[in-house]
Amino acid sequence: MDPTTLSLIQLGIVFFALGFLGRLAGRIGMSPVPLYLLGGLAFGHGGLIDFGSINDFAHIASEIGVILLLLMLGLEYTARELVTGLRQSWMAGLLDLVLNMAPGVAIAFLLGWGPVGALVMAGITYSSSSGIIAKVLGDLGRLGNRETPVVLAILVIEDLAMAAYLPILTAVLSGVSFLGGLTAVGISLAVITAVLLGALRYGHIVSNVLDSPDRESFLLKLLGSALLVAGLASALQVSAAVGAFLLGIAISGGTATNATRVLEPLRDLFAAMFFVLFGLNTDPRSIPPVLGFALILAVVTSATKVATGWWAARRQGIAILGQARAGAALIARGEFSIVIAGLAVASGAVPKELAALATTYVLIMAVFGPIAARYVEPFVRLFQGKKSPGKEPEVIL
């Protein structure tokens, strides 16, 4: 069969199956993200059916999905709100870094992977998945919650930390000089600072340039600018996701409201492909040998993420339900962890077992994270009810 024809048939099957999985998730009241991931496992190498011919399309579609997820998350906030959140949450960001890098470092040394393996695993366990968390918060209707700016600030701090970490990691893996690594870090931080300052001062100009009364023109300009900014950010060794997020921050007022409405169907389509691709690239046969270590790492780092979000929300005066929601929202790991593992294994500087452990760990966290975010509130309410009989549980709006 012609390769194009085969790809079209396979894509049709995947999209149709995703539609059923999304409907199932809606009926049982949970985010569709875990089901999309498991669907990807079923259609990938080593799964029930190998749909490897759609990998090229799925790869670029998944990149667009992450860009749109972060762009629309940025549309929810202004640059001033972001700066305020960073000022208020920098201590939480530091706590996040220490608590969540330590388990990765510990397990790398335990398995004998040395300092380079420890550096790689530190990044894998540290960074939450902005893409998955953005999707989950939207699905659960929590974008307007009081704890969401705290979660957002921590995610942004993580992405900014990744802008410094990735150039250092690349330099270590490739043997580049320390000075070369510092130069790359300086470029990344300078670009992020410049874009954020530009959003603060000239955001209204960005909104005016992109705005259009014609829906088609508006959509094309939005999508084009998002991809352009993300691509330029990536070329400058800044996360493409960070670039898209900062563009969303720069768009304000009625333009932001209209952009959210126009982009929502595209976001849902391409974001689904991001989660499917992750599953497609995971061979189920590589999971059993490292499952025990991955589960231990998942338990420990779930607790450290919950502690981070809980403490950060508490410092902002948010009540216990909001603290619990903030902590659970941060559990999911995803895109950055896979990128880090891929860079390390491709360099040959770490054993191949690291990739299997990273993939298994991220899959567990990507599935468990949305489930924890969905059910943490009923769990806390139940615990409060048992602790204080006859007292109404605290509700936070």
Within a 10 A sphere around the Cβ of 105, how many other Cβ atoms?
Answer: 18
Predicted confidence (pLDDT) per residue in 298-346, tens digit: 999 999 999 999 999 998 889 899 999 999 999 998 767 877 887 787 7
Joined tokens for residue 91: 């201590």
Give the pLDDT mean for 268-277.
Answer: 82
Quick one: which of 331, 333, 311 has its CA closest to 322?
311
For residues 76 and 310, what is the distance between their CA atoms, to the nearest angstrom? 22
pLDDT bucket at 124, cuts 50 / 70 / 90:
very high
pTM > 0.75: no
Question: Of 87-101, 162-176, 252-266, which gets the smallest average pLDDT?
Answer: 162-176
Give the pLDDT mean for 215-227.
Answer: 91
The top-scoring range by mean pLDDT among 271-285, 310-324, 355-369 is 310-324
Can you spell out the DSSP letters for 303-317? HHHHHHHHHHHHHTT
pLDDT at 390: 47
Give the pLDDT mean for 91-97.
Answer: 91
Quick one: which of 15, 43, 86 has its CA closest to 282?
43
Domain ranges of the chain: 3-380
Average pLDDT taken over every residue of the chain: 81
Can you spell out the DSSP letters for 268-333? HHHHHHHHHHHHHT--GGGSGGGHHHHHHHHHHHHHHHHHHHHHHHHHTT--HHHHHHHHHHT---
| 73 three-class SS | helix
CATH architecture of 3-380: Up-down Bundle (1.20)
Report CA torsion sign: 37, 139, 326, 274: positive
